Amino acid sequence: MTQKPLELILARNLMSALSTPAFLVDEGGVLVFYNEAAGTLLGKRFEELGTVGPEEWGSLFGPFNENGEPIPYDELPLVIAVRNGRPAHADFEISSVDGARQQVEASAFPILTAHGSRGAIAVFWPAAASNGAGH
Protein backbone atom coordinates (compact mmCIF):
# COMPACT_ATOMS: atom_id res chain seq x y z
CA MET A 1 0.00 0.00 0.00
CA THR A 2 1.39 3.38 -0.98
CA GLN A 3 -0.16 6.13 1.05
CA LYS A 4 -1.46 8.98 -1.05
CA PRO A 5 -0.26 12.45 -0.04
CA LEU A 6 -2.65 14.23 2.28
CA GLU A 7 -3.29 16.97 -0.26
CA LEU A 8 -4.66 14.42 -2.73
CA ILE A 9 -6.71 12.74 -0.01
CA LEU A 10 -8.30 16.03 1.00
CA ALA A 11 -8.85 17.00 -2.62
CA ARG A 12 -10.64 13.73 -3.27
CA ASN A 13 -12.75 14.14 -0.15
CA LEU A 14 -13.79 17.61 -1.25
CA MET A 15 -14.44 16.55 -4.85
CA SER A 16 -16.60 13.67 -3.63
CA ALA A 17 -18.93 16.19 -2.03
CA LEU A 18 -19.22 18.43 -5.11
CA SER A 19 -21.72 18.36 -7.92
CA THR A 20 -19.18 20.11 -10.13
CA PRO A 21 -17.42 17.60 -12.38
CA ALA A 22 -13.84 17.38 -11.14
CA PHE A 23 -10.76 15.34 -12.03
CA LEU A 24 -7.64 14.67 -9.97
CA VAL A 25 -4.21 13.63 -11.19
CA ASP A 26 -1.11 12.90 -9.11
CA GLU A 27 2.28 14.51 -9.61
CA GLY A 28 3.10 12.00 -12.33
CA GLY A 29 -0.04 12.85 -14.28
CA VAL A 30 -1.85 9.62 -13.41
CA LEU A 31 -5.61 10.10 -13.21
CA VAL A 32 -6.29 8.95 -9.65
CA PHE A 33 -9.89 10.07 -9.17
CA TYR A 34 -12.88 11.80 -10.66
CA ASN A 35 -16.15 12.44 -8.90
CA GLU A 36 -19.69 11.28 -9.60
CA ALA A 37 -20.54 14.43 -11.53
CA ALA A 38 -17.57 13.83 -13.82
CA GLY A 39 -18.66 10.24 -14.16
CA THR A 40 -22.05 11.42 -15.34
CA LEU A 41 -20.36 13.67 -17.89
CA LEU A 42 -18.21 10.82 -19.19
CA GLY A 43 -20.86 8.14 -18.89
CA LYS A 44 -18.66 6.00 -16.68
CA ARG A 45 -18.09 6.00 -12.93
CA PHE A 46 -14.52 6.18 -11.64
CA GLU A 47 -15.03 2.95 -9.75
CA GLU A 48 -15.67 1.20 -13.06
CA LEU A 49 -12.57 2.64 -14.65
CA GLY A 50 -9.91 2.85 -11.94
CA THR A 51 -6.66 4.79 -12.21
CA VAL A 52 -5.44 5.61 -15.68
CA GLY A 53 -1.88 6.47 -16.62
CA PRO A 54 -0.70 9.70 -18.20
CA GLU A 55 -1.11 9.96 -21.95
CA GLU A 56 -4.03 7.50 -21.70
CA TRP A 57 -6.78 9.34 -19.86
CA GLY A 58 -7.01 12.17 -22.38
CA SER A 59 -8.33 9.77 -24.97
CA LEU A 60 -11.11 8.66 -22.63
CA PHE A 61 -13.08 11.73 -23.52
CA GLY A 62 -11.14 12.73 -26.64
CA PRO A 63 -11.17 16.48 -26.25
CA PHE A 64 -11.80 18.15 -29.58
CA ASN A 65 -11.19 21.72 -30.65
CA GLU A 66 -13.68 23.93 -32.42
CA ASN A 67 -12.78 22.23 -35.71
CA GLY A 68 -13.53 18.82 -34.31
CA GLU A 69 -9.85 17.85 -34.21
CA PRO A 70 -8.35 16.05 -31.19
CA ILE A 71 -6.49 18.37 -28.85
CA PRO A 72 -2.92 17.24 -28.18
CA TYR A 73 -2.42 15.81 -24.71
CA ASP A 74 0.22 18.42 -23.86
CA GLU A 75 -2.29 21.22 -24.42
CA LEU A 76 -4.94 19.98 -22.00
CA PRO A 77 -5.39 22.29 -18.98
CA LEU A 78 -4.85 19.46 -16.50
CA VAL A 79 -1.57 18.52 -18.16
CA ILE A 80 -0.38 22.13 -18.24
CA ALA A 81 -1.26 22.50 -14.56
CA VAL A 82 0.60 19.41 -13.41
CA ARG A 83 3.61 19.80 -15.68
CA ASN A 84 4.12 23.54 -15.54
CA GLY A 85 2.73 24.27 -12.09
CA ARG A 86 0.36 26.97 -13.26
CA PRO A 87 -3.39 27.25 -13.80
CA ALA A 88 -4.83 26.75 -17.24
CA HIS A 89 -8.23 27.10 -18.88
CA ALA A 90 -9.73 25.93 -22.15
CA ASP A 91 -13.00 25.46 -23.98
CA PHE A 92 -13.41 22.22 -25.85
CA GLU A 93 -15.78 19.45 -26.74
CA ILE A 94 -15.72 16.09 -25.05
CA SER A 95 -17.16 12.75 -25.94
CA SER A 96 -18.82 10.43 -23.44
CA VAL A 97 -18.57 6.65 -23.69
CA ASP A 98 -21.84 6.49 -25.62
CA GLY A 99 -20.41 8.90 -28.20
CA ALA A 100 -22.45 11.92 -27.18
CA ARG A 101 -20.55 15.20 -27.62
CA GLN A 102 -20.73 18.07 -25.18
CA GLN A 103 -19.13 21.50 -25.10
CA VAL A 104 -17.37 22.26 -21.82
CA GLU A 105 -15.05 24.74 -20.20
CA ALA A 106 -12.24 23.30 -18.11
CA SER A 107 -10.12 25.03 -15.51
CA ALA A 108 -7.17 23.29 -13.93
CA PHE A 109 -4.84 24.32 -11.13
CA PRO A 110 -1.77 22.68 -9.63
CA ILE A 111 -1.57 21.29 -6.12
CA LEU A 112 1.69 22.70 -4.79
CA THR A 113 3.05 22.08 -1.30
CA ALA A 114 6.16 22.83 0.72
CA HIS A 115 7.51 19.57 -0.67
CA GLY A 116 6.69 20.37 -4.28
CA SER A 117 3.94 19.32 -6.65
CA ARG A 118 1.35 16.76 -5.58
CA GLY A 119 -0.71 16.85 -8.75
CA ALA A 120 -3.51 18.94 -10.18
CA ILE A 121 -7.28 19.33 -10.18
CA ALA A 122 -9.50 20.18 -13.13
CA VAL A 123 -13.11 21.24 -12.91
CA PHE A 124 -15.38 21.01 -15.94
CA TRP A 125 -18.29 23.29 -16.65
CA PRO A 126 -20.79 22.15 -19.22
CA ALA A 127 -21.16 25.05 -21.65
CA ALA A 128 -24.86 25.38 -20.94
CA ALA A 129 -24.18 25.83 -17.24
CA SER A 130 -21.33 28.28 -17.74
CA ASN A 131 -23.36 30.31 -20.21
CA GLY A 132 -26.04 30.68 -17.61
CA ALA A 133 -23.72 31.83 -14.87
CA GLY A 134 -21.93 35.09 -14.56
CA HIS A 135 -23.22 36.65 -17.77
Which residues, numbered 110-129, are part of the site for another protein (CB under 8 A)? 114-115
Minimal distance, residue 23 CB to another protein, in Å: 16
70 has which bridge partners?
64
Exposure string of 71-106, with b = 16+ CB inside 10 Å and e = fewer, is bebeebbbbbbbbeeeebebebbbbbeeeeebbbbb
Phi, psi (rounded to 5 degrees) for 78? -65, -35
Which residues, numbered 8-67, are part of the site for another protein (CB under 8 A)? 9-10, 12-14, 16-17
> Looking at beta carbons only, is 10 or 129 nearer to another protein?
10
> Looking at beta carbons only, is 14 or 129 nearer to another protein?
14
> Looking at beta carbons only, is 33 or 92 nearer to another protein?
33
Q: Which of 108, 127, 110 is nearest to 119 (CA)?
A: 110
Interface residues toward another protein, by CB under 8 A: 1-7, 9-10, 12-14, 16-17, 114-115
